[in-house]
Amino acid sequence: MIQYKEGEFKEFIIKPNNSLSWKGNKIFFFILFFVSFVIAFSFAMAGMWLILPFAGLEMILLGSALTFCYIKNSQCEIVKIDEKNVSVSLIKSRNKKVFGCRKYWAKFILNKPRLKGYPHKLVLRSAGREMEIGALLTDEERIKLAGMLKKNVEQ
Amino acid sequence: MSSVVKDEHHDEHPSGIMRWITTTNHKDIGTLYLWFAMIMFFIGGLMALVIRSELFQPGLQFVDPQFFNSMTTMHALVMIFGVVMPAFTGLANWMIPIMVGGPDMALPRMNNWSFWIMPFAFSMLLSTLFMDGGAPAGGWTLYPPLSLQTGDAFPFLIFAIHFMGLSSIMGAINIVATILNMRAPGMTLMKMPLFVWTWLITAFLLIAVMPVLAGGVTMLLTDKFFGTSFFNAAGGGDPVMFQHIFWFFGHPEVYILILPSFGVVSAIIPTFARKPLFGYASMVYATASIAFLSFIVWAHHMFTVGMPLAGEVFFMFATMLIAVPTGVKVFNWVTTMWKGAMTFETPMLFAIGFIVMFTIGGFSGLMLAITPADFQYHDTYFVVAHFHYVLVPGSIFAIMAACYYWLPKWTGNMYSETLGKTHFWLSTIFVNLTFFPMHFVGLAGMPRRIPDYSLQFADYNMIASIGAFGFGFAQLIFLYLIIKTIKGGTKATDQVWEGAEGLEWTLSSPPPYHSFNTPPVIK
C-alpha cells in the first residue's frame, strides 16, 4: 500500500499488505480465549484443574504469535524527497532507521526479475551504494512506486 | 547513505541435509511433513498387518495377547497422530500460503520447530516397543486404571503425546496466523478456497481441545507417579471422568482428521467436473456447524458407562444432528458433479471413492448414534468397521487424492495415470474387502481388541485379512509412483488440470522456492 503526501516535501508511505487489523486479531484471540477458558474452567470446577495451566500456556503462545505477526506487518518505509535530499526511514516496531543522500546523486532503479514468477526489485542507488525499497509491496505497486519516485527525483 | 542492502537471490538456500534441518520454507516443511506421514503410514500399516495376521484364523498363531494389544494401541496412535494429522499439516504447509497469496507461513521458524518435534515424539513412542513391560497396550484411549498398568513405557507414552500435542498446537497457531494475516489484497474470507476454510476451522478445534488432552494425560501421569487420585476411585477420584476428558478431546479430534478432507474433495470435484463448487457459502457454514456440534457429542462414545437417561437422549440427538451439515456437504459435491463435463483422472477417482465410502462410514455412525442400538454395537467390530470407513477411505483417500492432484504442481512432472488408476482400484477393492466384513462380524457380536475369537467369525476375518494385505501391497504402488514422479516424467503445465482454478495454478510447476514474494491482487 502506498500513501502519497505533498507539502514542503514529497512523502511516500509504504506499508505491507495486512489482511487482518489489530482489532480483528484481538477479536479472534478473545473468542478463542473465551472458548478455551470456558472448557478449562468447566473441567476445573469438576476437579480436573490441570487442564487450566495448559490452556493458559497455549493462549500465551497464541497471543504472542498474533502479536508478532501484527508487529511484523506493521513495519513501514517512508521516502521523503525535498529540493536537495532524499531520505528513507525504515520503521520496524519501535525502531527507526533513517538513510539519506543528496537528490542529485540519487537514482531509483527497478531491477527486472531473473526468473519467471519472481518480483521486480526497486533500489535506491547513490555513490556506489544501494538499498532496497518497497519489498513490502505487491509487484504492481512496486512498479508504480518506481515510476513515481523516478519522476520526483528527476524534477 | 549509511546502509547497503545486498542483492539477495531468493532462490538460494542451503543444500544437503542442512537444507531440511534448518529450513523455514513452507514448501520444504510441507514436504518433510508429507514424507514423515508416508514413513509412519508404512510403520502403522505393518502394525495393522501384524493384527490381521493374528486374526487370519481363530486361535493364537503369531503373537501373544499382550503384544497384540500393543499393536492395536500403537497402530491407532501412529495412524492418527503420525499419519493423518502430519499429512494434512503437510498439505496445509504446502498449499495454504500459495492459496491465500502469501509469501510463506506467518511464523516460519516456529514452523520448523513444529515439524522437528515430531520425529522425536515418535522415536520416543516407538522406542516403547523395546521396553520392559512392552509398549502401551491399553488402547489409544488410555482409559485408567488399565493404562496405568503400562510398564516402563508409560512416562514415554505421556511425553510423546505431549510433544505430538505441542507440535499440533504450534502448527495450528501458525496456520491460523497465516490465514488471518497473510491473505493477499482482495482475498476476503468468503473468497478463500474451501481447503483453507476447513483448515481454519480445524486449527480452531485443535487450539480448543489440545489443552484438554494435555491436562488429561498429565493427570494420568500424576496419578501413577505422584500419588494424586484424579481418576483413582480408591482415593476419591473418578475413572469415568477420564473418559469424559478424553472424548471431549477425542470427538473434535475425529473432525480434525476429517475436515481438511472435505476441503481437499471440495477442491478436486469442481476441477474435474469443470463447474464451480455448488453452494460455497453453505459448505463454509456446514463445516462450522460440524465443528460446533463436535463439542457437544463426546459422550456418544461412552453410552454404556451408565449415564442418566436425559444425557443419553441429549447426546443421541446432538450426534444425529451432525448428519444435517454432513448431508449438505455430500449434496453439494454430488450437485457439483451433476451435469458437469466430468473426467475421471486419479484425483477425481479418489474423491468420488471418498464420497461413496465416507458416506457408508457416516451411515454406520448414525446407527451407532442411536443409544439403545449402541448398547448392542458398543465395543464390537461394527465400531471398528465404522471408524475405519471414515478414516481410511475417508481421510487417507482424501490425502491420496490431494497428493495426486497437487503432485504435478509440486514436482513439475506428471505422474503415470495408469499406475495411479491401478492404485485407486486396488485400494478401493481391498479396503472394502478389509472393512466391510467387519460390519457383519460386529453385528454378530465379535468384540474388538481381541487376538482370538469364536469359530463363527472365521470366514469374514480371513477375508478381512486378505483385504488388509492386498491394501498394504497396493500402497507400494503409491510409493513407487511418487518416487518416479519426483525423479522425472512428462513436464506439467502451470495449470496442470484443464478445469483447475485458484492461485496455486497461476504459479509455475514446480513453483519458485519463494512463491508470491509480493501478494497478488484477487479480483
Q: How confident is the model at residue A5 (pLDDT cuts 50, 70, 90)?
A: confident
Do residues A37 and A47 both lie within one domain?
Answer: yes
Residues 10-69 of A with CB under 8 A from B: 17-20, 24-25, 28, 32, 35-36, 39-40, 43, 46-48, 50-55, 57-58, 61-62, 65-66, 68-69
pLDDT at B234: 93
Query: Is B439 within 8 Å of B432 (Cβ atoms)?
Result: no
Does the pLDDT at position B515 exceed 70? no
Give the pLDDT confidence score for residue B1 in this predicted structure: 41
Name A138's bridge partners. none
Residue ending a domain, among A53, A72, A91, is: A72
Catalytic annotation on B326? Answer: yes
Amino acid identity, position B459: D
The predicted model scores a pTM of: 0.90
Cell of A17: 499488505
Strands A2-6 and A10-14: antiparallel
Domain end position, chosen among A55, A72, A89 = A72
> How far separated are the first and last CA of chain A, in Å rounded?
24
pLDDT at position A154, please? 75
For residues A96 and A142, state if they share a domain: yes
CA distance B216 to chain A (A): 7
Report pLDDT for A53: 97
B152 has pLDDT over 90 = yes
Q: How confident is the model at residue B5 (pLDDT cuts 50, 70, 90)?
A: very low
Range of the structural domain that residue A88 is part of: 2-18+74-154
Q: Is B253 a catalytic residue?
A: yes
User: What is the number of structural domains in chain A?
Assistant: 2
Same domain, A86 and A30: no
* Residue B4 pLDDT level (bands cut at 50, 70, 90): very low
Tell me the chain B residues in contact with residue A48 when contact means C-beta distances shorter than 8 Å.
215-216, 219, 230, 241, 245
Residues B289-304 have a mean pLDDT of 96
Q: Position of cell 444432528? A: B321
- Phi and psi of A101, rounded to 5°? -155, 170
Both A123 and A94 in one domain: the answer is yes
Q: How far is CA B61 from the centre of its chain?
A: 32
H/E segment holding residue A78: strand A76-81
In angstroms, the CA B261 to CA B241 distance is 31
Both A79 and A119 in a single domain? Answer: yes
Are residues A47 and A122 part of one domain?
no
% of residues, chain B, pLDDT over 90: 89
Report the C-alpha gap between B490 and B480 in whole angstroms.
16
A85 and A138 inside one domain: yes
Which residue from B373, B490, B452 is spatially nearest to B69, judged by alpha carbons?
A: B452
Please give the angle made by the CA atoms of B292, B296 and B300, to the nearest 5 degrees: 130
Please give the backbone phi and psi of residue B510, each rounded to the nearest 5 degrees, phi first: -70, 155
Do A92 and A132 lie in one domain? The reply is yes
CATH number at residue A100: 2.30.29
Q: pLDDT tens, A52-106?
A: 999 999 999 999 999 998 888 888 888 888 888 888 888 887 788 888 888 888 8
Residue A117 has pLDDT above 60, yes or no: no
How confident is the model over B328-337, as pLDDT tens digits?
Answer: 999 999 999 9
**Cα–Cα dist B464/B454, whole Å:** 16
pLDDT band at B134 (very low <50, low <70, confident <90, very high): very high
User: Which string of b and e fits B387-422 if b means at least 16 CB within 10 Å?
Assistant: bbbbbbbbbbbbbbbbbbbbbbbbbbbbbbeebbee
Give the closest-approach CA distance of A25 to chain B in angstroms.
8
Peptide bond between residue B145 and the one before it cis (omega within 30 degrees of 0): yes
**A138 shares a domain with A87:** yes
Q: Tell me, yes or no, whether A11 and A37 share the same domain.
A: no
Q: Are A30 and A90 part of one and the same domain?
A: no
Residues B463/B406, Cβ–Cβ less than 8 Å: no
**B368 pLDDT more than 80:** yes
Contact A12, A4 (CB under 8 A): yes
Edge-to-edge strand list for the sheet holding A121-126: A107-111, A121-126, A129-133
Contacts (Cβ under 8 Å, ≥6 apart) of B388: B361, B434, B435, B438
Q: Residue range B263-272: average pLDDT? A: 97
Q: What is the mean pLDDT of chain A?
A: 86
Mark whether A65 and A97 lie in a shared domain.
no
> What is the three-class DSSP state of A141?
helix
